[in-house]
Amino acid sequence: MQSFYPSQIIEYLYCPRYTYFEYVLRIPQYEDKFYKVTRGREIHNEKLEQNKAYLRKKIGVKNKWVDQYLGVEGLRGKIDEVLELGDNSFAPLDYKFAYWKDRVYDTYKQQLYCYAVLIEENFHAKVNKGFLVYTRSKHKLIEVSIPPEAKKEIKASMEKMLVIIQQNKFPKATTFKKRCVNCTYRNICIK
């Protein structure tokens, strides 16, 4: 069965045509050229080395697993930190090379939702929330609620992505046209 990374599900939710161009036509994005992507990966690796033994007691962390690669049917990914909390629930923590701007972007939430699915199925524990660390805002820690319906949306998106791939189906573009401005596929996409 086809298996997706959280970033690919996020791209699908951003615009379903990402899935079509990447998997059906097999046109790569070449996102490594973007400074923020490269710098974000560097910061990510630094943080993982610096914080290996640190437990965030203020948010009730009693145990953690760093840089965890997890997989379930249809979904796989590497989570910066899997946290076990005092109430025996678990939570993903993800470092972002970004500034805190008084709101959590949908793409960040969706990534945490994907991680919640992975953690629940691999650790057999409940995931009700996740955490984001904004490295460019003095490592500001933000808690994000993860409702059950969000995890269901992730699973439904994976099924829709499979339909696009298996049936070579050209999906409708996003209705948010501002998203097209910086899209890596804008020159070949029929709007």
Q: What is the mean pLDDT of residues 81-97?
A: 96
Q: Percent of the chain having pLDDT more than 90?
A: 74
Place of tokens 């269901």: 152
pTM score, whole prediction:
0.86
**pLDDT higher than 60, residue 102:** yes
Identify the band that residue 104 occupies on the pLDDT scale cut at 50, 70 and 90: very high
Render 95-159 in DSSP notation, one character per residue.
Answer: EESS---SS--HHHHHHHHHHHHHHHHHH---B-EEEEEEGGGTTEEEEEE--HHHHHHHHHHHH
18: part of which helix (H) or strand (E)? Answer: helix 17-19
Write out pLDDT tens, residues 132-170.
999 899 999 999 999 999 999 999 999 999 999 999 999
